[in-house]
Structure 1
Amino acid sequence: MRSLPDPAASRAVLVGVSRYTVLEPLPAVANNLPALARALTGPTSWHLPAGHCTVVAEPDTARDMLDPVKEAAEATSDTLLVYFAGHGLLDGRGELFFGLPGSVQGSSYTGVTYQALREIITDCTAQRFVIILDCCMSGRALGLMGGEDLLADQAQIDGSYLLAAAPENGRALAPLGETHTAFTGELLDVLQRGIPGGSRELDLNAVYHHLRGELAAKGRPAPQKRDRNTAGRLILARNQAYRPASAPARAAMEENAWPDPDDCHTPLVFLEALAEMRALTGLTIPALAQRADPPLAATTISRLLNETALPATWKTTGRYLAACGLTPDQIGAWQAAWQRLRTQEEELTELEPPLPTTTPPRARSWRARLAGRQDLRPWQRGK
């Protein structure tokens, strides 16, 4: 089940280093911190009290960075979020450490080791941990925050959700001339504007899938995640782009408005009924794709609705039906119909020689049935 953190029992610590004496500066990082703090303390996200969101900008020493994290961890019983933006580096042993203003590549004693942060987090009594790392290895050119593998693998903690800006063997990007880093800028856009076609509330998994798609579409590094238990169901934001179901969708939710799975006597009728449901919702295929949990690719739904043979597996169909708005009981009835048709197909293929069959009269197409129900739609009654 999705859950929203209790603001009174949750904390966030946002750390950023934009000024470096040896490494390349990252000016966009300085803009990330206040913007993310406003989002987390605002009504569109966790609505944390101002005192529960600590901003640590340009920490000079390990204690400057870690003491606020320890204080927040000791005060948190619900959810602890720790964010770092800046240079992420590897020492000579390949261990991850965070760059402070005076850090040097390869020398972990000049920065903050991930292990030190990990010890603080794992020792606290919070129910859930969210770790957001907008960093990778040292930048090799102005605007790059570097990148190699191992970041997410080293950073994982049981019971936590890690969201990292860079893929394995990739780089986190701070584009020149942009206000924010590529990853955090996209994250802020989700918090402020939401995801069109998405659900009313956005959990971490939904945000991750959206970020990955948007950044990849722009040719930017795709983020990665590591999660444990049910941390991915934690709500990060209220979807500002959410729109209630359209009139056709509300009508479809009325009793007997959806097609009846018991009327699907052939695979073709079954597939036409799936397409009819999409029409009844009034939603586009891309919008339905975003409503799925986790989101589906629009091309996946399009292929499903244009199949000429029964789907070989159930998973995608079930997620599609849930996105249309069917209840678990209704989805169970459709799964039973799918299984019935699959069994019939298997029995027919085992017959040798094939027996003559009588093809049932083909039902009217879903478009014809939908057109014939216009006068019966609930919102038109009484006109």
Structure 2
Amino acid sequence: MRQSAPRFPDGVTSRAVLIGCSDFDDIGLPAIPAVGANLADLRSALTDQTHGILPPEHCRVLADPADHRSVGMALAQAAREAEDLLLVYYTGHGLLDEDGLLHLALSSTDPNHVGFTGVPADLVKRYLGRARAHLRVLVLDCCFSGRAVAAMTESGSLLSAQLDMSGTYTLTSTTATAPSHAPPGQRHTAFTAALLDALNQPQPLPWTTSTSTSTPCCTGWDCRGRSGAPSTPPGTSPSSGAPSSRMQGRRPAMRERSASGSSRPIRRPIASATPSCGS
């Protein structure tokens, strides 16, 4: 398949919102120390004077937000201002409510009342779907992040029926049923480390597969609630017994995921990834 020539976003008319939670009020939610470096280094990559795509004032960072209001206001402002690229990134805990819907944990999230204290991933998708930006990208580095894609591809999805999701793209660190990974002692989580490595390459990398041993960010706690069991053993992928990762290099063409489940390459070369947990 012949791919179109890359075209980089216009930094003046683009916006990014980087959200991350590393510390949590509830003792049942373990801290994720790598989140701080994820946010700082991704912002540096996006706003680099030589290789970045955004001026610093157009890349907003929300570190350990405690309430929905700050997140909602940041998303609303970025959605209102962005005309070319709108990028939203989250790193932290992904939690499921009783209906299996994905929520993004805030520092004040109560895992026993996820639906009231976490940010529904569907709500973030709605912000993206209604934005006027030509290209809208959601990047989720959290457990069960693949559910953000599954919600859009399910037949009869209410969200996909209400919104024109053309031009909306999603990158996730894992599948709909697996944990994400934060290797102990490492500066970054596994997915964001691969993303940053790709952004820092001078040339696009060929598709390769590597295998490494990682630790789920939610080790010692079940992101589906304290009464359930994890879908896969900690540190393993559903198929191989160890998480694998693939990353295409610096700003390669992403693929569009449509509401029907089909995909096609796009011309905006930001990043393309297969999660560390495999998918």
* Structure-2-length-normalised TM-score: 0.69
One-letter code aligned to 2:142: C
Distance 1:88 1:155, change over 3 A: farther
Structure 1 residue aligned with 2:22, among 4, 18, 31? 18
Give the equivalent residue in structure 1 for 2:124: 117
Give the equivalent residue in structure 1 for 2:243: 220
Tell me the alpha carbon deviations over residues 29-84 of structure 1, each in whole angstroms, 9 at most, x when there is no partner. 11110100000011464431111100111111011112111101100110100000
Is 2:172 the partner of 1:164? yes
Give the equivalent residue in structure 2 for 1:31: 37
How do residues 1-383 of structure 1 correspond to structure 2 at under 5 angstroms?
1=4, 2-22=6-26, 23-43=29-49, 45-105=51-111, 107-136=114-143, 147=144, 150-154=147-151, 157-194=165-202, 209=207, 213-214=209-210, 216=211, 219-222=242-245, 227-228=257-258, 232-236=266-270
C-alpha displacement at 1:169, in angstroms?
2.7
| Larger radius of gyration between Structure 1 and Structure 2 | 1
Structure (1/2) with the larger helix percentage: 1
| Structure 1 Cα separation of the partners of residues 167 and 121 of structure 2 | 17
SS at match of 1:233: coil
| Structure 1 Cα separation of the partners of residues 204 and 166 of structure 2 | 32
Indicate if the aligned counterparts of 2:129 and 2:168 stay in contact, CA closer than 8 A: no
Tell me the alpha carbon deviations over residues 232-285 of structure 1, each in whole angstroms, 9 at most, x when there is no partner. 331127xxxxxxxxxxxxxxxxxxxxxxxxxxxxxxxxxxxxxxxxxxxxxxxx
One-letter code aligned to 1:233: R
Indicate if the aligned counterparts of 2:14 and 2:58 stay in contact, CA closer than 8 A: yes
| Structure 1 Cα separation of the partners of residues 268 and 98 of structure 2 | 36
Count of matched residue positions in the alignment of Structure 1 and Structure 2: 214
SS at match of 2:270: strand
Indicate if the aligned counterparts of 1:46 and 1:236 stay in contact, CA closer than 8 A: no
| Structure 1 Cα separation of the partners of residues 139 and 17 of structure 2 | 10
| Structure 2 Cα separation of the partners of residues 79 and 231 of structure 1 | 16
| Structure 1 Cα separation of the partners of residues 182 and 188 of structure 2 | 7
* Structure-1-length-normalised TM-score: 0.51
C-alpha displacement at 1:134, in angstroms?
0.2
Distance 1:221 1:16, change over 3 A: farther
Distance 1:125 1:197, change over 3 A: closer
C-alpha displacement at 1:160, in angstroms?
1.4
Indicate if the aligned counterparts of 1:167 and 1:222 stay in contact, CA closer than 8 A: no
Distance 1:34 1:149, change over 3 A: closer
Unaligned runs of 5+ in 1: 137-146, 199-208, 238-383
SS at match of 1:167: coil
